[in-house]
Amino acid sequence: MVRGMRKVLKDFRKNKESYLLRAGLFQLLFTTIGAYMLSLVFKMLVIHSRVPAINIDYVKSFLTNPLLLVVLLVHLFLLAFLTYLELSMLVGVICHKELKGQFLWSSLKEKNKKFLKTISGKHFFAFLSYLALLVPFLRFLVAASFLENLYIPSFMIWVSQAPDFVKLSVCAFYLVFSYLNLRFIYTIPLAVKNESQYFGWCMKESLSLTRGKKIFRAFGIVFIGLAILLGMGLLSGMVVVFASLIDGGARSFWGTALFLTVIWLIFFAGRLLFKLFSMSYLVKTIENDDCVTNSQNGHSMLALAGVCLLVFGLGFAYNALKATGKQAHDVTVVGHRGMSPKGVENSIESLEAAARAGADYSELDIVLSKDGQFIVSHDDNLKRLTGKEITISNSKAKEVIGLKTKQGSHDSQIASFDDYVAKAKQLGIKLLVELKTTGNEPANYAQLFVNKMKSLKIDKSSLVMSSDLQAAEKVKKIAPDMTVGHTISFQVGDSLSPKMDFYAIEDFSYNEYLAHKVHQNGKKIFVWTVNSKDDIERYLKTSADGVITDYTSSVRKVQKDLTSDVSYLDYFLQIMNLSWIENL
C-alpha cells in the first residue's frame, strides 16, 4: 500500500501540469456542468409527478409511482455513465500522458460504444446491481471521490427523520454495503482499462483483487482522502483567520464574495486531487503498471493557468451572487400545506402545527366543487388521501367535506375553505391560497373566488397564487388590491408575467439573476419546496423573499442561528454544515 502511494506521488510530480490541466477540465465538464444538467432534468420530472413533496411522509407515494421509478432508474444509469466518462478520461490521462488532448476527446465516441458493449445482455443486470451498491453512498461517501456534486433525490435523506430503530437498521445496512463497495472498488477502473471485457468479469476480478488480506490494499484511498481532507482543513482555517483579520467581523460584500470563492476553490481542488490520486492508486495496483511515463508538454503550464483563471472566474461569479443575499431574518416563512409532517396536508391539524411552529403564512390549496363551493385539497381526485375514487370538481361539497383522510401516521378529514379560514383567524396566521384549477371551472370562476374572499373577510395581507396564469391574472384584474402571484414549476430565462405581484418558483429554477430582475420590477419571489437543512441554509442566504417549506420549525431554528452568527468562523461552519461544533 505504501509502495503504491509512493508510485502515485512520483508519477504526479513528473506530470502534474498535464494531470491538473486535464483533470480540471473533466471535473468542470462532467461533475459540475454535466451534473447540474442531469439534476435539472430529474427534478423537473419529479416536480411534474403526482408526488407533492419528497420527504418521509411521501416515500410510499414516490416508491409506488411507476413513472418515477422508471425515471429514477434512467437517472441512475445516466449518473453512472457520466461517472464512467470522467473515469475513462482520467485513466486515459494517467496511461497516455504523452498524447495530446485531441486523443482523449477523439476516443470518446469509441469508448462509448465499447462501454455499451460491456454491459450488453446479462451483464446489464450486473451493471444495475453495481449501481444499487453505489446508490446509498452517492450523496456523501462517494460524493467525496468519484461522484461529488451529482444530484441524488432528496428522499434519500428521509432516514434522518425516522424512529431510532430505523436509524439503527440503516446503520447496519450501511456497514454491509460499505463492505460490498470495498470488495467491488476496482470494478470501474477495471472496466475502463479492460475495454474488451464484460462488466460482469470486471466485478468478479474486483472480488479476486480484494480477497483475503488483499482487501487492505484498497484502504490506500482512505489514507489519501484523509491526507487531502487535512490539507483542505488547514488551508480553510488559514483563509478564515486571514479574512477575519482583513475584513473584520462586519463581513463586507466583497470580502464575503472573495471568502466564498477561495473556500470553493479549495474544495474544488481537493475533490479533484482525491479523484486523481485515487484513480491513479487503483490503476497502479491492478496487475502491472503498464502506463507510459513520458515528459510534459511545454504548453501545459500556460494552458493550466488559463483553466485556473476560468475556474476562478466561474467560482467568483457564482459566489458573488450568493453574497448578495438578504438577511436571514427578513425571509418570510410559509408552511407548505400547513405543516404536513405534523398532520395530513391541508388539514386543520396541519394548519395548527404551522401556527405553533411560527410560520408567517400557511399555504393551502383549494378546488371548486360541482356546486360552486371551495374545498381545501391539493388534488381534484381524492384517492391519494381518502382511498376513494372521488373527484371534487364532479361532486357536491357535502359529498366530500368530512371525508376521512390518512397520510403517514396522521388522520384527519377534508375541510371546507370556510372552516379553514375560520380556524386561521382564530390562530392569527395569514394565508397563502393556491387556486387549483381542473378545467371544469365555470367562466366566472375568478369572480366566484374574489366574492368568497370578500365574504370571508380575509385579511388583505394574505396572498393568492396559482399555476394557472390566466386564472391568476383574472383574479388580479377583478381585485387589484389583492396580492396575487404565479406558481412556476419550471422557469428558463427571466420572462415573467408583469401583471403578477410575486412569483413562487420551484427551487431548481431559482437563481440570483432571476431574483434580481424580479426585484428590479418591484415584485417578490418565493422558493418552494425547501426542506433539507442544506437547502434551508442556502435559500435563507439568497435574495429570495420567502421560502415555502414542510419544516417550519427547522427554518425558524436556522434563521435564528444565521442571525446570531456573523463572524467568518461562524459563516464557515454554516456553509460546511458544522455549526454543531459550537455546541460541544
Local confidence band at 429 (pLDDT 50, 70, 90 cut-offs): very high
Q: Hey, what's the cell of 489? A: 414549476
Within this chain, do residues 350 and 228 fall inside the same structural domain, yes or no? no
Comparing 99-103, 133-137, 277-281, which segment has the lowest mean pLDDT?
99-103
Q: In angstroms, what CA-CA distances link 201 with 184, 187, 205, 349?
A: 11, 9, 6, 56
Within this chain, do residues 310 and 347 fall inside the same structural domain, yes or no? no
Within this chain, do residues 350 and 285 fall inside the same structural domain, yes or no? no
Mean pLDDT of the 347-353 span: 96
d(CA 311, CA 217): 34
Greater model confidence, 36 or 373: 373
Query: Which segments of 285-333 does DSSP mark as H helices, in order?
Result: 300-322
Does residue 511 fall inside a structural domain?
yes
Residues 484-503 pLDDT 10s: 999 987 665 566 889 999 99
Domain that holds residue 438: 328-368+430-583
Q: Check pLDDT > 80 for residue 249.
A: no
Mean pLDDT of the 393-413 span: 93
Mean pLDDT of the 73-82 span: 71
Position 144 scores a pLDDT of: 35
Residues 296-323 pLDDT 10s: 555 667 888 888 888 888 888 877 766 6
Q: Check pLDDT > 80 for residue 263.
A: yes
Residues 275-290 pLDDT 10s: 889 888 888 887 655 5
Task: Choose the final residue of a domain: 264, 297, 322.
Answer: 322
d(CA 156, CA 557): 23
Residues 530-582 pLDDT 10s: 887 778 888 888 889 999 999 999 899 888 877 765 677 877 876 776 554 54
Does residue 565 fall inside a structural domain?
yes
The identity of residue 6, as a single letter, is: R
Q: Check pLDDT > 70 for residue 100.
A: no
Does residue 379 fall inside a structural domain?
no
Position 511 scores a pLDDT of: 80
Mean pLDDT of the 388-415 span: 93
Within this chain, do residues 317 and 343 fall inside the same structural domain, yes or no? no
Does residue 96 fall inside a structural domain?
yes
Does residue 395 fall inside a structural domain?
no
Within this chain, do residues 220 and 313 fall inside the same structural domain, yes or no? yes
Q: How many domains does the chain have?
A: 2
Picking from 482, 408, 493, the residue whose alpha carbon sits closest to that of residue 452 is 482
Report yes or no: 381 and 390 within 8 Å, Cβ to Cβ: yes
Phi-psi region of 51 (alpha: psi -120 to 50; beta: other; left: phi over 0): beta
Within this chain, do residues 309 and 434 fall inside the same structural domain, yes or no? no
Q: In angstroms, what CA-CA distances link 257 with 260, 263, 319?
A: 5, 10, 6
DSSP-derived pairing of the beta strands 463-466 and 483-488: parallel
Q: Check pLDDT > 80 for residue 247.
A: no
CA dihedral 53, 57, 63, 69 (to 10 degrees): 20
Task: Choose the final residue of a domain: 322, 357, 387.
Answer: 322
Within this chain, do residues 239 and 132 fall inside the same structural domain, yes or no? yes
d(CA 241, CA 559): 25
Q: Check pLDDT > 50 for residue 58.
A: no
Picking from 528, 222, 551, the residue whose alpha carbon sits closest to that of residue 354 is 551
CA Rg value for the chain: 27
Within this chain, do residues 67 and 191 fall inside the same structural domain, yes or no? yes
Q: In angstroms, what CA-CA distances link 478 with 259, 465, 474, 475, 579?
A: 49, 14, 6, 5, 49
Within this chain, do residues 109 and 165 fall inside the same structural domain, yes or no? yes
Local confidence band at 151 (pLDDT 50, 70, 90 cut-offs): very low
Residues 188-233 pLDDT 10s: 788 877 877 888 999 999 999 999 888 888 888 888 889 999 999 9
DSSP-derived pairing of the beta strands 415-416 and 483-488: unpaired
Task: Choose the final residue of a domain: 322, 356, 379.
Answer: 322
Kindly report the CATH number assigned to the domain that includes residue 497. 3.20.20.190
Taking each helix axis from N to C end, the angle separating 220-247 and 2-28, rounded to the nearest 10 degrees, works out to 60
Comparing 388-392, 479-483, 514-518, which segment has the lowest mean pLDDT?
514-518
Within this chain, do residues 313 and 439 fall inside the same structural domain, yes or no? no
Within this chain, do residues 350 and 297 fall inside the same structural domain, yes or no? no
Within this chain, do residues 439 and 541 fall inside the same structural domain, yes or no? yes
Does residue 378 fall inside a structural domain?
no
Q: Check pLDDT > 70 for residue 468.
A: yes
Does residue 479 fall inside a structural domain?
yes
Does residue 277 fall inside a structural domain?
yes
CA dihedral 554, 555, 561, 566 (to 10 degrees): 150
Greater model confidence, 74 or 529: 529
Picking from 209, 187, 363, the residue whose alpha carbon sits closest to that of residue 285 is 209
Phi-psi region of 552 (alpha: psi -120 to 50; beta: other; left: phi over 0): alpha
What is the DSSP track for 140-177?
TTGGGTTTTT----GGGGGGGGS-HHHHHHHHHHHHHH
Position 28 scores a pLDDT of: 80
The identity of residue 76, as a single letter, is: L
Mean pLDDT of the 62-70 span: 63
